[in-house]
A = this chain, B = another copy of it.
Amino acid sequence: MIRSPARVGVAGATGAVGREMLRVLDERGLEVDLVRALASERSADRSLPFGESSLTVQELGPEGLEGLDIVLFATKPAVSREYVPVAVSKGAVAIDNSRAFRMDPGVPLVVPEVNPDAAAHHSGIIANPNCSTIQMVLVLDALHRAAGLRRVVVSTYQSVSGTGREAIEELRTQSGDVLAGRPAVSRVYAHEIAFNCLPQIDDFDERGDTLEETKMIEETRKIMGLQGLRIAATCVRVPVFRSHAMAVNVETEREIAPGEAREVLSSARGVAVLDDPEEALYPTQLAATGGDEVWVGRVRRDRSLRHGLWLWIVSDNLRKGAALNAVQIAELIVDGVSL
């Protein structure tokens, strides 16, 4: 246990997730003694907003990682692999948002509403799951407790902010170019993302799956402690700035009517139900942006199965999908703060 008030570092503080971590740290109840923004040498000495005040960025390195209790890493896997061990060797607990350590058997992979106890068994590193995994697993866990999961089939609609700030800029620039009749140039993505969907998130493996798809499958199994869970995923990038959506088809062991599923989900922590189609009430990415909830709507029977349900799940990938979940993990390991 770390004693409150804690000394917290944010590595990769200038990126889309890093900035959101600073925002969430400022908003939440976690008492901090100091917050230090860390980034690459290139960004050192820049100023970042933090609540009413601002922080001067320090270089991410052995010196910058000195004297911290917790470091939230919003960095790419290679950077995490280099500096997470440094942070740990300096006595901090590292909460890492990259995929670098997530599937390491010695590293807990934590969604505080689902497996908070796992956070206690860390050896200096706790991994923050993939954004799509987090929002899906909150819903799946509630359904599993109520009716048992047999199989899950998910197709995602993921925003460009999952890639980072340069992808947000690419969508903005390309969209403007297309509307003006100018040719659009792709730098971040393999193809034009403006007014187009790309069935590729992260790299492909030799089986033709993307890393993102494999993450959703393997991380869900690890978080829920269900190694044999049957789950299939297709991950798609859509021309949306922020928040991820997903169509999830669930086969349960036991009968659960849509109305009962809505009740179960309404009382699940972190989950909110918005489901009145007659009034065109269902979650959308635009409406979910900036909020903390994992929204669920379009809960209905899939009549192609004996016990089948469809759900539409939407959440802000930078908040619950990344920054908020990481800060919640920090809260779990700081003395006297509970979820």
Chain B contacts for A284, CB-based, 8 A: 191-192, 196-199
| A208 contacts the other chain (CB 8 A) | yes
Question: Is B285 a contact of A234 with CB atoms below 8 Å?
Answer: no
Q: Assembly of this chain: how many copies?
A: 2
| A19 contacts the other chain (CB 8 A) | no
Question: Is B197 a contact of A282 with CB atoms below 8 Å?
Answer: no
Question: Is B175 a contact of A179 with CB atoms below 8 Å?
Answer: yes
| A163 contacts the other chain (CB 8 A) | no
Question: Is A197 a contact of B157 with CB atoms below 8 Å?
Answer: yes
Q: How far is the CA of A221 from the CA of B279 in the complex (A)?
A: 30
Q: How far is the CA of A186 from the CA of B326 in the complex (A)?
A: 36
Q: How far is the CA of A232 from the CA of B307 in the complex (A)?
A: 13
Q: Which chain A residues in 267-282 approach chain B with CB under 8 Å? A: 275, 277-278, 280, 282
Question: Is A300 a contact of B207 with CB atoms below 8 Å?
Answer: yes
Chain B contacts for A81, CB-based, 8 A: none
The prevalent SS among residues of A at the interface is mixed
User: Which one, B195, B232, B285, B302, contacts A286 given CB within 8 A?
Assistant: B195
Question: Is A241 a contact of B208 with CB atoms below 8 Å?
Answer: no
Question: Is B207 a contact of A234 with CB atoms below 8 Å?
Answer: no
- How distant is A259 from chain B, measured CB to nearest CB, in Å? 11
* Residues of chain A having any CB pair with chain B under 8 Å: 151-153, 155, 157, 171-172, 175-176, 179, 190-192, 195-200, 204, 207-210, 230-232, 234, 236, 238-241, 245, 247, 249, 258, 275, 277-278, 280, 282-287, 297-305, 308, 310, 312
Identify the 4 closest CB pairs spanning chains A and B, nearest first. Answer: A155-B155, A208-B300, A190-B280, A230-B304
Can you list 26 A-B pairs, Cβ within 8 angstroms, ordered by A?
A: A151-B305, A153-B249, A153-B302, A157-B236, A157-B238, A172-B179, A175-B179, A179-B179, A190-B280, A192-B284, A195-B239, A195-B240, A196-B284, A196-B286, A197-B238, A197-B240, A197-B284, A200-B277, A200-B280, A204-B277, A208-B258, A208-B298, A208-B299, A230-B304, A232-B302, A238-B239
